[in-house]
């Protein structure tokens, strides 16, 4: 039969689970939010965070899931630093407003200011580490893109040279075809001339008929005129 725990044992169990440091940290995170692990706390605008995240993705252009996670970590670190900076400035403003003279500050006031300075320093270091990781892959991606661009430029250069080579080959082929056509035409003309010459030497030459010489006869009137007169005289 189970027995109920004694009253003396209950405070002991409660004391083992209770951590004053953790409780104080949670209380501080609720009071000012500088040590809060939550992404958003009251008073913050989630749209501003999403806009920052989009800008970082657009600028760094992660290519893998691991690089995308590094961009998210850097964005969260930047967001947390902005929160701590705001709390730090607000705390200093309240201190200087309440006690303008530093000589009036107590040790508790100095400890509080130093504590917020430590919060700010930790947030700055976290952001520096996150940015170092992001910048490392960002530079590598830039070099990779530059190599790809150089590769594309060299490829285009080789393509241009290949096109020029193909054009030169086509031009040489056209010139060779024209030369062969010209030589073939000259050979045909030569063959025709040789054939014509052979035909001219093989066929006999025919004498062309001479035109008949004109018959030159004396005028009949000059010879017959005296004979007519003589006959008339005889008749008389």
Quick check: is 163 in a domain? no
Average pLDDT over the chain, rounded to whole? Answer: 76
Helix axes 107-202, 65-98, angle to 10 degrees: 150
Quick check: is 34 in a domain? no
More confident residue, 171 or 196: 171
Q: Which residues make Cβ contacts (< 8 Å) with residue 133, sequence separation at least 6?
A: 70, 73, 74
Quick check: is 154 in a domain? no
Percent of the chain with pLDDT over 70: 64
Quick check: is 186 in a domain? no
Distance between CA 115 and CA 34 in Å, rounded? Answer: 10
Residues 25-44: tens digit of each pLDDT = 444 444 667 888 899 998 89
Residues 173-194: tens digit of each pLDDT = 888 888 888 777 766 777 666 7
Quick check: is 181 in a domain? no
Range of the domain at 66: 41-147
Total of domains in the chain: 1
Q: What is the 3-state secondary structure (H, E, C) of 160-189?
A: HHHHHHHHHHHHHHHHHHHHHHHHHHHHHH
Under DSSP, is residue 25 helix (H, G, I), strand (E, B) or coil?
helix
Quick check: is 141 in a domain? yes
Quick check: is 218 in a domain? no
Distance between CA 7 and CA 10 in Å, rounded? Answer: 5
Distance between CA 194 and CA 183 in Å, rounded? Answer: 16
Q: Which pairs from 161-170 meet CB under 8 Å and 24+ separation?
A: none
- Please give the model's pTM, rounded to 2 decimal places: 0.52
Q: Which residues make Cβ contacts (< 8 Å) with residue 166, sequence separation at least 6?
A: none
Q: Average pLDDT in the 94-113 region?
A: 86
Q: Average pLDDT in the 91-99 region?
A: 87
Q: Is the predicted pLDDT of residue 12 greater than 80, yes or no? A: no
How high is the pLDDT of residue 17? 46
Q: Quick one: pLDDT band at residue 213, thresholds 50, 70, 90?
A: low
Q: How many CA atoms are closer than 13 Å to the CA of 223, on its beta-carbon side?
A: 4
Quick check: is 65 in a domain? yes
């Amino acid at each position: 039969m189970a027995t109920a725990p004694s009253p003396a044992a209950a405070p002991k169990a409660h004391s083992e689970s209770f951590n004053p440091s953790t409780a104080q940290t949670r209380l501080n995170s609720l009071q000012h939010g500088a040590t809060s692990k939550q992404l958003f706390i009251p008073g913050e605008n989630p749209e501003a965070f999403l806009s920052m995240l989009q800008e970082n993705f657009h600028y760094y252009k992660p290519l893998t899931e691991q690089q995308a996670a590094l961009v998210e970590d850097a964005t969260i670190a930047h967001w947390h630093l902005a929160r701590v900076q705001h709390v730090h400035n607000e705390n200093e403003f309240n201190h200087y407003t309440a006690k303008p003279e530093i000589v009036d500050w107590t040790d508790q006031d100095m400890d509080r200011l130093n504590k917020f300075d430590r919060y700010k320093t930790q947030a700055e270091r976290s952001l520096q580490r996150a940015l170092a990781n992001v910048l490392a892959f960002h530079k590598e991606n830039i070099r990779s893109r530059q190599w790809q661009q150089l590769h594309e430029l060299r490829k285009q250069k080789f393509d241009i040279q290949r096109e020029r080579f193909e054009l030169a080959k086509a031009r040489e082929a056209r010139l060779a075809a024209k030369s062969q056509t010209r030589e073939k035409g000259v050979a045909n003309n030569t063959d025709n001339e040789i054939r014509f010459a052979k035909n001219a030497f093989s066929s006999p030459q025919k004498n062309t008929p001479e035109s008949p010489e004109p018959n030159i006869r004396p005028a009949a009137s000059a010879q017959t005129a005296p004979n007519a007169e003589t006959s008339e005289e005889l008749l008389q």
